[in-house]
Amino acid sequence: MSYIEIFLLALGLCADTLAVTMAFGTASGRLGLGAHLKIDLTLGFIQAAFIIIGWALGEAFFNLIAAFDHWVAFALLLFIGGKMIVDALRPAEEEKADLMHFGPLVVAGIATSIDALAVGISLAMMSLGATKLVVTFAAIFAVTAIVAAAGLLGGRAFEKVLGNKAGIFAGIILIAIGVKILLEHLVF
């Protein structure tokens, strides 16, 4: 997996985070630096941690599925990407998360990171080395934290500009990575 693919993966995974922070940003008004850092860093850490947890689960079961690992990675990414696209095309539900308190913040972080768990499993199927895993963790942490900050700051402006396109774009990225993995194993 190239560094560009890692960046695109990080970008694709944080679409849910963008949606949650935009929703909160529209309702919260002006936040102080401490509140921003708490929200941004918590959401970034949870997303990145779920990649590592998924990778560890994938590594634990790798020997059982090594013969068809590329199909598993493809199926997971196709499912997650497809779900993102379908969710983005559905009418928006008006739900506002309360990210000022730690409990709801962690719940929002977990809810927006479930897809990262599945992607982490697929990364294990790709035999991602320790260096690339650390880079992936750092990229996902940083990109998610930056996107969360942008969502909080942008709020209504982002929602008007991006609308459902963020989820569609993220889904397409994940599906494309899944297709690439499958083709690498079937063609080469």
**Over the stretch 16-47, which tens digit does the pLDDT of each residue have?**
788 778 767 765 667 788 888 999 999 999 99
Give the Cα separation of 76 and 9 in Å (integer).
14
Say if residue 183's pLDDT is above 90: no
Predicted pLDDT of residue 147: 93
Residues 6+ positions from 122 with CB-CB distance below 8 Å:
54, 58, 72, 73, 76, 77, 178, 181
Q: Which residue has the higher pLDDT, 77 or 42?
A: 42
Alpha carbon dihedral 67, 177, 17, 95, in 10-degree steps, equals -90
Give the number of domains in the chain: 1
Predicted pLDDT of residue 26: 64
Say if residue 14's pLDDT is above 80: yes
pTM for the full predicted model: 0.70
Q: Report the percent of the chain where pLDDT is more than 70.
A: 81
Give the Cα separation of 13 and 30 in Å (integer).
26
Predicted pLDDT of residue 45: 97
Q: In which domain, by residue range, is 77 found?
A: 3-187
The stretch 95-123 carries a mean pLDDT of: 78
CA-CA-CA-CA torsion sign (57, 62, 64, 68)? positive
Helix ranges (H only) for the chain are 3-13, 15-28, 33-60, 62-65, 69-89, 102-111, 114-125, 130-154, 156-162, 165-187
User: In a 3-state reduction of DSSP, which class is residue 32?
Assistant: coil
What tens digit of pLDDT does each residue of 132-181 get? 889 999 999 999 999 999 888 876 565 556 666 766 766 777 688 778 77
Say if residue 51's pLDDT is above 60: yes
